[in-house]
Amino acid sequence: GSRPPRVTSFGSALGARLTRREDPRLLVGAGRYLADVTVPGVTHACFVRSPHAHAAIVAVDSAAARALPGVRAVLTADDLPHRPLLDAVAVPDLRKTPQPALAAGRARFAGEAVAVVLAESRAVAEDAADLVRVVYEPLPVLTDPEAARTERTTRLCDDLPTNVVYEGGREHGDVDAAFARAAHVLSGRFTTGRFVAAPMEGRGCLASYDRADDRLAVHSSTQSPHLLRRKLAACLDMPEGRIRVLVPDVGGGFGQKIPASPEEVAVALAARATGLPVKWVEDRRENITAAPHSKDQIIDMELAVAADGTFEAIRARILGDSGAYSYNSASTLIESYLSAGLLPGPYRIRDVAWQVTAVLTNKTPISAYRGVGWTASHSAREVLIDRAARLLGRDPVDLRRQNLVREFPHTSPTGMVYDSGSFVESLDTAAELIDYSGLRERQRVARETGRYIGIGVSPYVEPSGWGTEGAAQSSWSFSSHDSVRITMEPSAEVTVAVGTPSQGQGHATSLAQVVAEVLGVDPAEVTVLANDTAAVPMSTAGTRASRTAAVTGGALALAAQDLRDKLAAIAAGLLERDPGELVFADGHVHVRGDSGPALPLGALAQRAYFDPAVREVMPEPDLVVTRFYDPPATYSNGCVMVAVEVDPWTGGVTVIDAAAVEDCGTMINPLIVEGQVLGAFAQGVGGALYEHIPFDADGLPLATSFADYLLPTAAEIPPVRLGHHCSPSPLTVNGVKGMGESGVISTPAAVANAVADALVPFGAEVDRTPLTPEYVAGLIGDPDRP
């Protein structure tokens, strides 16, 4: 493959706009995704899935399926005894609902796996799955979370008295007093639709069990290899060290591939039970119906505003539709509960009270998707702020500027400590980029001719770079550190092993830059591997929560520094110099102020490994370093602005202009940051306008393919005007903050407010996403009579 552009000046790798070195390989079709991985004797799995949202499983007759030539086995929960998947988080009062790998006795959502067929090909496995006769006895179906909340007879989990998996609340400050003295109280209900992450590549795995050694190897399209290993160990009752998780290229995850999936457990169990290597590649219909869904919150919110526009207090009741199980490694609570923590967002709001209820229904379980939890409360708040601006006759940009956090560190009432930022500056830059005042004029002129343009603004703060403290500030208690291993090979090439695989974030480039910067080498000399749990001591969380740049990147910078110290000690001994006199640049060790020939790192590495004399200088001259990092909490920020045009006759919304300003502290690679911003912006537009999985009264999903689950295409996304601010974190290595989710937190609110702004002449207010044409046309009523 072709090499990325060479950086001419070493030591300037951090912050360089390098094109992604992984792209040439991926773009010519030389990537190796899960579907490409195979082993001799591989058998293919197809799941038999429940066509009912809620039903007792009375009998399974697999005789006809077994008789089909090429079928190796048909297995049900009875054939594969195991421990169910359980939540890993320790949120007080969370009622955990165990989720079996295969439904045992009862199916709780349409698409839940009931049996698995193993065959010589996927085609035969699918044909055989059709021949498995399952006798179901339908049970009453719960689809409405409000109804499920009070229902006592029909319960999803027998061990729980109700369908409520979490109910709790907190008051920060004196909220009642703040509301009592406020000049204005804005209130409303906002509903965020049910998304599915829709990665280009679905989930999947290939499990091989070695009976002689009692070892399990699992290739998986996962974001969290160590977490998967831990879950498999628990479900299969195997020591963790006997399980190895290998990660091929992954074509998108967006949070959906954080949890260990029931299907992965079933495949591993099937491999162990039969001794056959078993491969499962999820298809699109399975992904849309059975992979975790996301968002789906109903928020009743009140905002107290003083006469001068100061935001005084927020009160929210958040109802999360969890689906059928409190999802295992991330927990369904990741939506509604995290939503509460970010209620104040980027504003100086003193008093906040929230009440969260998460309730089980007969739908696909909810788990993480980019912008986890935060999208919903952010959108609800921003929509109310625009209503406040209209009520007060204030410009929505001005009103926000007045209330944004300006001093750092800032402790939000919910306990988040914003370490640094450019909240006001990012708002102003976005307004400048999109020519806000010019757009207002264009809007005015357009209205005179019966055309409806609207402008929406959405400044945001992103809890990013989750280490243990960052997670804890969201009341999400788990150990979220990373360790990395870095090795200088005898050729002086550097191999880096990390536990945070890339699903498209460009880690092979950006993490190499971090290491190259410290060692003074070309990033092309640094290979980043995130493909094997055996190569890394531990990554508790994997790639999620916009944490890789800050956590893994931090660990790598520290490890590279240790490695450089080792090299300096060896070189100093050989050159009879003081290590402090040595400079690492251009792949050489130079003596400061000495213009004589420098020592190439290749020669130094050769000697470290192979020259016995080096042991006189350093008794253990191995060029391997392991480092651990768990950074303090850090918060990035930015602002999204969009302009839309609404067609009053069809209710169709077109995004006509957009600006996105990001501040993630020190940027490792601005080009990659911009790619992340653009991708998340597009997903945010999708969530705002198109994406939603409705369910009918029988609990059957009404979107099961891309014909009815509508993703935005390039045609729906306008060019985005990009801007940056840079407020380095005073707390993290290199001042790096994470940023991978920002656009999905902020964009839906910007679009919703732009539509609301366009509809002002019709006296309509928006109260949900997605803003589908039917919904918008319904708000407009008679297009001729604004």
Beta carbon nearer to ligand MCN, 679 or 770: 679
Helices marked H in 14-55 — which ranges?
23-27
Positions 99 through 158 that interact with ligand MCN (CB under 6 A): none
Between CA 712 and CA 682 the distance in angstroms is 7
Contacted by 503, from ligand MCN, ligand SMO, none: CB < 5 to 8 Å by type: ligand MCN
Measuring CA to CA, which residue among 534, 539, 585 is closest to residue 564? 585
- Distance of alpha carbon 240 from the chain centroid: 25
Smallest gap from Cβ 255 to ligand MCN, in A, equals 4
Task: By CB under 6 A, tell whether 14 contacts ligand MCN.
Answer: no
Helices marked H in 237-322 — which ranges?
262-274, 284-290
Contacted by 375, from ligand SMO, ligand MCN, none: CB < 5 to 8 Å by type: none
Give the helix/strand (H/E) hosting 684: helix 670-689
Burial of 697 (0-12, 13-18, 19+ CB in 10 A): exposed
**How many CB atoms within 10 Å of residue 127?**
17
Which of 414, 505, 539, 727 is in the footprint of ligand MCN by CB under 6 A?
Answer: 505
490, two tokens: 């005898």
Smallest gap from Cβ 141 to ligand SMO, in A, equals 29
Which of 454, 679, 687, 699 is in the footprint of ligand MCN by CB under 6 A?
Answer: 679
Q: Give yes or no for a contact between 426 and 459, defined as CB atoms under 8 angstroms apart.
A: yes
Task: By CB under 6 A, tell whether 631 contacts ligand MCN.
Answer: no
Between CA 202 and CA 214 the distance in angstroms is 29
Beta carbon nearer to ligand SMO, 416 or 623: 416
Beta carbon nearer to ligand MCN, 252 or 602: 252
Between CA 304 and CA 292 the distance in angstroms is 36
Where do the DSSP E strands lie in 664-741?
720-724
Q: Give the residues across from 206 on adjacent strands.
A: 219, 279
Contacted by 548, from ligand MCN, ligand SMO, none: CB < 5 to 8 Å by type: ligand MCN
Q: Give the residues across from 351 on adjacent strands.
A: 313
651: left (phi over 0), alpha (psi -120 to 50) or beta: left
Choose the binding region for ligand MCN from 76-84, 532-540, 543-551, 556-564 (rule: CB under 6 A).
543-551
401, two tokens: 């500027």
The pattern of x and - marking residues 335 through 374 that bind ligand MCN according to CB under 6 A reads: -----------------------------------x----
249: CB partners within 8 A, 6+ apart: 26, 31, 32, 33
Smallest gap from Cβ 499 to ligand MCN, in A, equals 12
Helices marked H in 195-323 — which ranges?
225-236, 262-274, 284-290
Residues in the chain, how many?
Answer: 786
Smallest gap from Cβ 294 to ligand SMO, in A, equals 8
Task: By CB under 6 A, tell whether 739 contacts ligand MCN.
Answer: yes
Q: Give the residues across from 194 on adjacent strands.
A: 295
Binding residues vs ligand SMO (CB under 6 A):
223, 255, 258, 368-370, 372, 544-545, 741
Which of 270, 736, 755, 776 is in the footprint of ligand MCN by CB under 6 A?
Answer: 736
Beta carbon nearer to ligand SMO, 223 or 289: 223
Between CA 649 and CA 172 the distance in angstroms is 46
For 504-524, give the DSSP string: SS-HHHHHHHHHHHHHTS-GG
Contacted by 62, from ligand SMO, ligand MCN, none: CB < 5 to 8 Å by type: none
200, two tokens: 């280009």
Between CA 34 and CA 248 the distance in angstroms is 6
Which of 665, 686, 712, 723 is in the footprint of ligand MCN by CB under 6 A?
Answer: 665
Positions 546 through 565 that interact with ligand MCN (CB under 6 A): 546-549
Task: By CB under 6 A, tell whether 202 contacts ligand MCN.
Answer: no
Which of 202, 253, 320, 463 is in the footprint of ligand MCN by CB under 6 A?
Answer: 253
Give the helix/strand (H/E) hosting 606: helix 601-610
Beta carbon nearer to ligand MCN, 549 or 643: 549
**How many CB atoms within 10 Å of residue 24?**
14
Q: Give yes or no for a contact between 136 and 107, defined as CB atoms under 8 angstroms apart.
A: yes
Strand, coil or helix: what is 70?
coil
The pattern of x and - marking residues 258 through 287 that bind ligand MCN according to CB under 6 A reads: ------------------------------
Beta carbon nearer to ligand MCN, 301 or 333: 333
Smallest gap from Cβ 405 to ligand SMO, in A, equals 23
Beta carbon nearer to ligand MCN, 221 or 362: 221
Beta carbon nearer to ligand MCN, 426 or 543: 543
Which of 672, 682, 703, 720 is in the footprint of ligand MCN by CB under 6 A?
Answer: 672
Which of 330, 589, 664, 688 is in the footprint of ligand MCN by CB under 6 A?
Answer: 664
Between CA 101 and CA 534 the distance in angstroms is 25
Between CA 517 and CA 528 the distance in angstroms is 14
Contacted by 736, from ligand MCN, ligand SMO, none: CB < 5 to 8 Å by type: ligand MCN
Choose the binding region for ligand MCN from 395-403, 410-418, 584-592, 739-747 (rule: CB under 6 A).
739-747
Beta carbon nearer to ligand SMO, 134 or 541: 541
630, two tokens: 């768990």
438: CB partners within 8 A, 6+ apart: none
Look up residue 433 and give its DSSP letter.
H
Contacted by 258, from ligand SMO, ligand MCN, none: CB < 5 to 8 Å by type: ligand SMO
The pattern of x and - marking residues 764 through 783 that bind ligand MCN according to CB under 6 A reads: --------------------
Which of 646, 668, 766, 771 is in the footprint of ligand MCN by CB under 6 A?
Answer: 668
Smallest gap from Cβ 543 to ligand SMO, in A, equals 7
Beta carbon nearer to ligand MCN, 254 or 280: 254
Task: By CB under 6 A, tell whether 544 contacts ligand MCN.
Answer: yes
Nearest residue by C-beta to ligand MCN? 504
Smallest gap from Cβ 643 to ligand SMO, in A, equals 28
784: CB partners within 8 A, 6+ apart: none
Smallest gap from Cβ 637 to ligand SMO, in A, equals 18
Smallest gap from Cβ 203 to ligand SMO, in A, equals 13
293, two tokens: 């869904």
Size of the site for ligand MCN (CB under 6 A): 34
Task: By CB under 6 A, tell whether 31 contacts ligand MCN.
Answer: no
Measuring CA to CA, which residue among 2, 4, 1 is closest to residue 526? 4
Give the helix/strand (H/E) hosting 381: helix 374-392
Smallest gap from Cβ 41 to ligand MCN, in A, equals 32
Measuring CA to CA, which residue among 499, 485, 493 is closest to residue 542? 499
Q: Give yes or no for a contact between 141 and 56, defined as CB atoms under 8 angstroms apart.
A: no
Site of interaction with ligand MCN (CB under 6 A): 252-255, 370, 503-507, 510, 543-549, 664-669, 672-673, 676, 679, 736-741
